[in-house]
Structure 1
Amino acid sequence: MKLLLLTSLFLVASCLPDRTSLRFDDASPRLNTQTRETEIPDEVDFKVLSEEILVPKCISCHKGFTDETRILKHVKENDPEISPLFQSVKTGRMPKKAPPLESRELEIVRRYVESVRIERVVTYDELKEKILVPKCIECHKKSGEETNIMRWIDQENPSESKLIKATESGRMPKNNPKLSAYELNLIRNYLNNFRK
């Protein structure tokens, strides 16, 4: 009877998902209670970047990376392809003396670069080239001129404009995928031109 009970207990326990694992990132074992396969949010904030990448991979050499303002010096225009932060890990140059980041980790860094709010001047021409022409003009033919887009902009409260609300919610663009964090930041920065 005891043998049957023990065997049953073993079988039940072996069917449960493994929620913990030992990790040896820096030669010292520690229990990891999070699964490595958690979904990456569309917009990655500094907290996620710190917990997933900076603390385990970077802080031992780059002590200043505990402060987001130090990280932002390595982010250019929310564009991973020109941002030293992303390029250094994508090419494997960083982390030094450690294996290159895995694809999931690279995706976290890429999404952080695209998501972080960096204020800069975005002109209508840049907005038109990167958002309106490829994503909007197919349906909104009149959006090709700046005067026509003004009906989508609340000049009293630009952050409440239909332009950003419709794109943030995913209602627009209808016939294209939801805008990326990078594209949404372009719109937000364009709307900053209307702040008083």
Structure 2
Amino acid sequence: MNVNHVLNEFSDTLLFEYDCDSARLEFTPAAPAALGLPDRLPLRSDAGGRTLPEAADKLRRLLRAARPGGPVVKAEVTFLGQDGQLWVYLCRCKALEGAGGRGGQIVGKLTDITERFDREQDLLRRANMDLLTGVYNRSAEELITRKLKQNGGGVLFMIDLDDFKQINDTLGHSVGDQVLVAVSDVL
């Protein structure tokens, strides 16, 4: 059986080779089908042809960070598939010495971590948002403060509903839930 044929069966791991002189990225056969990419891809901004949507800059930085004789470098890279779905891969690569002073090559692999990434995002959302109302909770205060600084300002409201316990105690928790949802809808 052909080695490329066997490698094609590992659809969660995509192997690549980058030629530093031509700035060409070449994937194993599984990559075009998984990512909707051609087999060979120019990564130079001046090169004609298609570049990796959403991921090209991050891949360029990662490839520049790889040094012959240096350690394996890695980063998470997000690809936007042709179907609009986001795919998250862990990219690991290592630079190889070039012959006769040439630029050399970088070899690496992309491992699909989309499911893990989605689980982590879901856990973060659950930790920072009230599941009933969809409103950020107290544990998201640091996240909100960071976003406000990034956006150059804004307002954070922390609201306490006076005597809300009385609604739950007298009318029941389902009515209390309805009140919370109504208040969050208004806000």
TM bucket normalised to smaller = under 0.3
Structure with greater proportional strand content: 2
| Higher relative contact order structure (alpha carbons within 8 Å, sequence separation ≥ 6) | 1
Structure with greater proportional helix content: 1
